[in-house]
Amino acid sequence: MTAAEEWTVWSNAAYIIGGLLLPQLVASPIGWAGGFAMVGLGVGSYLYHSGKVEWGQHADVLMMYVVGTLLLGAAFGLSDGYSAIALLIAGGLGGVYLRWHVSNRMEVKIGVLYLAVLVAASIRSRYLAADWRLIGIGSAVLLLALVSRFLWKIWAVVDHHPTTSKQWGKVPHPWSHGLWHVLAAAGLVFWFVGLAG
C-alpha cells in the first residue's frame, strides 16, 4: 500500500472524530443520530479503502444517504427523538433503494440529496432560525471537497482509463481522496451545527 493509499484509509478518522463531536455540538437527538451516521460512514469507508471487507463500500455509501437524510430533516427543523429515528430508518431504506435500484452514478444521486438540503435550508430560514454563517462555511468546505474528488476523477481517467465499475474499483486513490474525506467530514459537521445547533 502506497503512502497516498494509507492516507486515504486513515483519513476516514475525520468522519469518526466529527461523529463523536457532533452530539456535543448539537445537543438534540438529531445530533446523536448524525454522530452515529458519521461514525458509521467513517468505519464503512475505512473498511472499504483498507480492503478488509468488500461490504465496507456498501456501508460507506449507505451512510452517505443516511447523513444526507438527517441533514434534510434538520433543515426542516426535525430534531426530536422520533424524527431522528424515522430519518435514520428512511435514510437507510432510501439508501438501499437508490444504491441498488436507481441506475444513475452515486455522485449524482448523493449530489441531488445534498442540494435538496441547501434548498430546504433556504426555505426553512424564512420560518426557523438557521446559522447561515456556519452553513456557508460548511458549503465552502464541501465545495473544496468536491474539487478534490473531481481532481481524483480526472487523474484516474488520464492515468488508468477505467470504463467499467470493476475497473474503477481497481484505480488507486491518490492524496486528493483522503483530502475529500477530511474536508467532507468538516463540512458536514458545520452543516449539522448550522442547521440544528
Q: What is the pTM of this model?
A: 0.84
**What value does the mean pLDDT of the chain take?**
83
The pLDDT, as a whole number, for residue 165 is: 63
Question: For the segment 73-111, what is each residue's pLDDT rounded down to a tens digit?
Answer: 888 888 899 999 998 988 888 888 877 777 666 667 777
Going from the C-alpha of 61 to that of each of 2, 38, 194, the distances in angstroms are 24, 11, 24
Residue type at position 179: L
All three cell numbers of 136, joined, read 456557508
The pLDDT, as a whole number, for residue 186 is: 95
Give the largest CA-CA distance in the chain. Answer: 51
Alpha-carbon span 128 to 154, nearest angstrom: 41
Region 140-147: mean pLDDT is 86
The pLDDT, as a whole number, for residue 100 is: 78
Question: For the segment 39-64, what is each residue's pLDDT rounded down to a tens digit?
Answer: 999 999 898 888 777 788 888 888 99
Question: For the segment 173-187, what is each residue's pLDDT rounded down to a tens digit?
Answer: 667 778 889 999 999
Contact at 8 Å (CB) between 145 and 179?
Answer: yes
